[in-house]
Structure 1
């Protein structure tokens, strides 16, 4: 039965064509994306297959320890962990047990599951005023007490105080009538102008004030239609159920959030324009300092496409388009459109012109005109799951700062290009790290990295071949780097073999040498391997970069001794002390490390010789 089950799972991807044929007229996207759907399901089947392998091994171990015919609760706990962590189903555990003539303590499994649920509830419970959660029992109690869900339509009104009434006070475990001072609690109002976190947009903050003093709001969540304002009472007398209060939203903070939210809509539109209609939103987070947008796409977005996407959003900002929102009935939903009124769209829904503007269902807060976003900078694009990419971006002053920083770095590269030799090497090394960490537009970062690569080629080519190279051909750069790497290997191997040959002819039992290949670890390692192969001598090879004051060291001990791995590490660790090594490692008689103080190379080589004389 278990084998049959596994075979059935493995057949699902092969059924995609049949499903598309039978249901494609009703769901045309099945035909449109048939190959992609089949590919994703096949990958999930493979992933589930790996899970099954892990589960089978764990089950075998649990079954071997069975006393009698029942897999105990303890074993079921292991099965639960596998289900909880890897998604291995409990019914498979039961199926495999049945085939071995065993039964499963399902009750024990359920106990383990309930314990996990309790831990999850505890983790979601009150944590310093930010994570109070109202579960279904709590919202049900409010309904029974005649408390109506919160009217939060006032959240779309900006820069106005809002009068309301306290309807409930919640501690995270129970409802109370009065909130003590400086208590981390949640309050439910009859109506509110605070935006509760949802749809990817972060919550509003601010204060709720009344005769009791003030309630500092640091989180707002919604549960079953009840908006829970989470925070603490600050001074004054106690806050009671029934108190009249005034909502005071921090609109300065919201004015940072709104441009980011509107720009997620414009970004979504730009992505579909540049990449195609297959792009679907998979998630988003809108914060005061940035926006993050997840979308469906099967491969990294090319820097040139990132430039186009960024340009489309900035063009919409430059065009100063009005942003419209309207609630559509029946079954009310809020529609947000950029550049044309929602009413216009409804009057002529088949108009192809609407394909050229952003229109989305959204319950968030937005700017009134795209000019309020000021500027848009796309900082990064990365993969987060199979077929899902993530873009992080900033707007307003943060976007200006990102552009200014990119411009400043470009100027630094231009200035560095005027340098030569060791000074150029120092500047390039510093700029590489600086660019990698910089919050600058991704497309501009790619351009800056290309310029740095050109400087690296010029630097390496000049140093190795005494030839000036200023090519922008990336393929040429790769070929040149490969050529230089091959030359480094030849240089290091020849130098090490020459020294080892002399050492062997003189009857020495080890060989220590320095080669001139900078921090090219591959070349140094190859030199060690060749000496071991051709001369069979213990060997240690050093190479340094004087500009960076760093050293790379490889050591090798022939495998004639069963403890060669231990000895070579002892040898290396002693040598790396003056070089301030990071902590070497290796296997099969080969060990390597890097040091941050190449100025002590002479001392290190002396230590290497003394150690080798005593122990090798």
Structure 2
């Protein structure tokens, strides 16, 4: 097809990308190496959203310090905390840490070894050994809990409906949505997605209580608990069971009963890697808001076609059928116009050493009509060479046609590329028919005028 690959350019770009990735990796490693903590934070957030604690460590600008002053950003480590630290796909908690000398606003919580790092900024001051009250954003946590519990139910539904080969490959649990990546060898169909959604909502309505218990890792596996992707487990693990439906190893936070989720709604399904699919969904009030917005859009479409939600499908289908019919009529009319325009071009034929040559700028002709026009002209002239071009906006369309008796001397692909090179493009095709495009319409006439000399050299 006369196409080439710029191998050298590709390798150069790849080298830059590798270097960038390596530098990014080194930065992350250096930062993690810099922030180390020997402290241990005891998590109290399974049963509490508020807890009293003591500041045991403070970081600012990647270094351990004794105090954070007013307006300063940093990290605070507590001996006890209700804040969940980001892990297992669940995002870290936010909230406030109140101290006698001020208030520390927590914007994220992550793990730092066995310590929980509360990221944020302080108003007033906060220092090591301060007694504090730590309070999470409970409303945000509740939304996260709904989404996290929904991922457990979704995981089991996928295994039941798609097959035992399904396993979790990653997840993200945020207040606004959940994202679940899983192994599967093909796209999930719309019918399958509807069934998955139905099964998850059925389990939500069954309203099983969630049971959590600590046990030895071997006992948990023997009980049938599934381990989550990316998690590292101690000898003693936390097992989360949802009725008779789901049992998984999980250190995250969850609702008390499945019914607390309210509603589960799939937003999208896509492929993110070979053999890995991704489902994004919303729950609770976010799911209700999503459904409400979908309903609004449906009603807006219905209003445009002068119908209602019950008749919108029928009316849109009828409009599409009518549109297809009109498009077909337009195409037929364009072909007739192109044929008529082609016939008028016959007066422009010149002869070069006995070879008929027709070169023209066919203004106003649609690019997709050029092929039919050339076929028609070839039939009319019997033997010869045809070169046509048309500009539309910033684009140029070119076509070259050569009757079969002349393809030994003149190749349509060579001719069209000769023209295309002058309008900032390239193309190709068969020896008797070839097309090209370009992006320099101001050079079209010059390109067409050069055809006569080019053909003269060939014949």
TM-score by length of 1: 0.55
Count of aligned pairs between the two proteins: 392
Does the Cα contact within 8 Å between 2:338 and 2:369 map onto a contact in 1? Answer: no
1:587 corresponding residue in structure 2: 427
1:422 corresponding residue in structure 2: none
The 5 A counterparts of 1:403-418 are: 403-417=291-305
1:120 corresponding residue in structure 2: 25
Q: Please, which runs of 5 or more residues in structure 2 have no aligned partner?
A: 1-6, 218-234, 350-357, 402-413, 429-434, 452-459
1:333 corresponding residue in structure 2: 237
Summarize deviations over 1:543-564 as a string: whole Å, max 9, x none.
9xxxxxx999734467558741
Task: State how far apart, in whole Å, the 2-side matches of 1:256 and 1:368 are.
Answer: 13
Task: State how far apart, in whole Å, the 1-side matches of 2:206 and 2:275 are.
Answer: 33
Task: State how far apart, in whole Å, the 2-side matches of 1:525 and 1:262 are.
Answer: 59
Does the Cα contact within 8 Å between 1:532 and 1:538 map onto a contact in 2? Answer: no
Task: State how far apart, in whole Å, the 1-side matches of 2:194 and 2:416 are.
Answer: 59
Q: Matched residue of 2:52: which SS?
A: strand
Task: State how far apart, in whole Å, the 1-side matches of 2:448 and 2:164 are.
Answer: 71
Residue 267 (structure 1) shift: 0.7
Task: State how far apart, in whole Å, the 1-side matches of 2:21 and 2:274 are.
Answer: 29
Task: State how far apart, in whole Å, the 1-side matches of 2:95 and 2:278 are.
Answer: 31
Task: State how far apart, in whole Å, the 2-side matches of 1:123 and 1:374 are.
Answer: 39
Distance verdict in 2 for CA 1:560–1:229, change over 3 Å: closer
1:202 corresponding residue in structure 2: 91
1:390 corresponding residue in structure 2: 278
1:358 corresponding residue in structure 2: 246
Summarize deviations over 1:107-154 as a string: whole Å, max 9, x none.
xxxxx9xx98675343577xxxxxxx543x653xx44xxx4x1111x0
Does the Cα contact within 8 Å between 2:419 and 2:447 map onto a contact in 1? Answer: no
1:187 matches 2:30: no
Task: State how far apart, in whole Å, the 2-side matches of 1:267 and 1:274 are.
Answer: 10
1:501 corresponding residue in structure 2: 343
Residue 368 (structure 1) shift: 1.2
Does the Cα contact within 8 Å between 1:283 and 1:294 map onto a contact in 2? Answer: yes
Summarize deviations over 1:218-254 as a string: whole Å, max 9, x none.
111112211111111112xx32211111101111111
Residue 541 (structure 1) shift: 5.3
Q: Matched residue of 1:156: which SS?
A: coil
Residue 590 (structure 1) shift: 2.4
1:554 matches 2:394: no
Task: State how far apart, in whole Å, the 2-side matches of 1:275 and 1:450 are.
Answer: 32
1:262 matches 2:111: no
Task: State how far apart, in whole Å, the 1-side matches of 2:369 and 2:316 are.
Answer: 25
Task: State how far apart, in whole Å, the 2-side matches of 1:532 and 1:234 are.
Answer: 82
1:316 matches 2:203: yes
Task: State how far apart, in whole Å, the 1-side matches of 2:192 and 2:140 are.
Answer: 32
Q: Matched residue of 2:98: which SS?
A: strand
Distance verdict in 2 for CA 1:560–1:192, change over 3 Å: closer
Does the Cα contact within 8 Å between 2:399 and 2:416 map onto a contact in 1? Answer: no
Q: Among residues 36, 47, 50, which one is paired with 1:157 in the alignment?
A: 47
Task: State how far apart, in whole Å, the 2-side matches of 1:552 and 1:385 are.
Answer: 35
Q: Among residues 212, 226, 231, which one is paired with 2:101 in the alignment?
A: 212
Distance verdict in 2 for CA 1:533–1:372, change over 3 Å: farther
Q: Among residues 546, 551, 564, which one is paired with 2:419 in the alignment?
A: 564
Task: State how far apart, in whole Å, the 1-side matches of 2:110 and 2:395 are.
Answer: 55
Distance verdict in 2 for CA 1:450–1:379, change over 3 Å: farther
